[in-house]
Amino acid sequence: MSVVSLQGVTKRYGDTRAVDDVSFDLHENRIHGLLGRNGAGKSTVMRMLTGQEVPTSGRIRVFGENPYENADVLHRVCFIKESQRYPDIFIARHALEAAALVFPNWDQDFADRLVDEFRLPLKQRVRKLSRGQLSAVGVIIGLAARAPVTLFDEPYLGLDAVARQAFYDHLIADYTEHPRTIVLSTHLIDEVADIIEHVTVIDRGRIVMDDSSENLRSQAVTVSGPTKAVEQFSDGHDVLHREDLGGFTRVLVAGVPSERETASLQVEPVSLQQLVVRTTQFHDAALAGAGTGNGLGNGTGTGTGKGDRS
C-alpha cells in the first residue's frame, strides 16, 4: 500500500525547475533509496513531502492527505537531514528531549542505547558538537522516533565508517522488529545497496529509475571480450557505458542477452551503484541529444547509446 504519492509534481524557483513533473509512490513498510547527484532534486522532494515547501504544480499526498500545515500528518513523519539545525542554546540532550515530545512512538530506552553506541556527549552544546557528533544526534532521533514515515537526507555522512555501519545495523534490526516506511537519500550507494528494497533515481529534477532493487539488477549486465566481438554483440542493444583497453572492450547493456548472443563473451552482473551512475550518465547524454531509446525501470531515461564510447 502506498503511504506517500506524488503525481505530476513540479517545483520552480524563478526560471529554475528543481523538480520537473515527478510522479512516484513510497510504499508502506519498505526501505526506499532516493538516489541522485547533488542538485538533482532529492532534497526538494523531501522538503515538499514534509510540508516545508509547496509544489508549484502537481499533487502530493502523505497518508492520503496534503502534508502542508497538516499536523495530523506531520507528527507521523520524521525528516532528518545533514544540515539539521537546532537552537544555539540547546545541549545534545535537549534535542533528544524535544524529539521525544514530538514523536508519539519515541522509544527512550532505544535512544539511550544509541547514545552509548555513538558516544554522544549529552551535556555538550549542539553548536560545539563535531560534525560526527551532530550526525549522531540526527540518526538517533531518526531511529528512536520510529515514525511511520522516516526520511534520512544524508545525515550520516559525518559519521566515520564504523559509526555508519552501526547505523545501518541498528536500522535493519529495528526495522525488522518495527516495520515502517524509510527513505535513505545518499551518495554512498554501495553501502546501502543491500538495505534498500526500492530504488528511485532523480536526475535534473526528473525520475530516471523507479523500481525494486531486485528488478533493476535483473535489467542490465556487463558484457566483455575482444572488441570486435563485443561491437557485433552491441548492435541492437542499449549500451549504457563502454570501456576500451587495447583490444578488449567492456559494455554495460540494458536487458539480459541470450546465451547464444554471448557465447564467446563474459557476462557479469552489475552493482546497484554502477547501474545508477551509468544510467544517470546515459540520461544526461540523451538530454544532450545522444538518442531516443529506452532507459531502465519505470523512469524516463532515454538514448540509444548503441556502441557509444564513454
**Mean pLDDT of the region 30-51:** 93
* Closest residue by Cα to residue 295 from 173, 229, 185, 206: 206
| pLDDT value of residue 24 | 97
More confident residue, 64 or 295: 64
Long-range Cβ pairs for the range 253-262 (8 Å, 24+): 253/220, 253/221, 253/222, 253/223, 254/219, 254/220, 254/294, 254/295, 254/296, 255/219, 255/220, 255/221, 256/218, 256/219, 256/220, 256/221, 257/221, 257/223, 257/233, 261/233, 262/223, 262/233
Per-residue pLDDT for 290 more than 70? no
* Residue 287 clears pLDDT 80, i.e. is over it: no
> How do residues 80-93 score in pLDDT, each as one tens digit?
998 788 998 999 99
The per-residue pLDDT of the chain, averaged, comes to: 89
Res. 276 pLDDT band, cuts 50 70 90 = confident
Q: What is the mean pLDDT of residues 98-113?
A: 97
> What pLDDT, in 10s, does the model give residues 167-200?
999 999 999 999 999 999 988 888 999 999 999 9
Delineate the domains of the chain, giving CATH numbers in brackets: 2-214 (3.40.50.300), 219-287 (3.30.70)
Could you tell me where the DSSP H helices lie in the chain?
42-49, 71-74, 92-102, 108-117, 131-144, 161-177, 189-192, 213-217, 227-234, 272-287
What span, in angstroms and rounded, lies between the C-alpha atoms of 61 and 191?
Answer: 30
293 pLDDT more than 80: no
- For residue 154, give Cα distances in angstroms to 7, 28, 60, 90, 151: 25, 21, 22, 22, 9
CA separation for the pair 114, 110 (Å, rounded): 6
Whole-Å CA distances, 16 to 6, 13, 20, 53, 203: 20, 5, 10, 15, 14
Q: Give pLDDT tens digits for 140-155.
A: 999 999 999 999 998 7
Rounded distance between C-alpha atoms, residue 29 and residue 168, angstroms: 17
Position 113 pLDDT exceeds 60: yes
CB 81 within 8 A of CB 47: no
Describe the chain by its helix, strand, coil percentages, rounded to 5.
Answer: 35, 30, 35
pLDDT exceeds 60 at position 103: yes
Which of the two residues, 219 and 109, has the higher pLDDT score? 109
Residue 297: pLDDT band (50, 70, 90) is: low
pLDDT over 60 at 291, yes or no = no
pLDDT of residue 280: 83
Does residue 230 register a pLDDT over 60?
yes
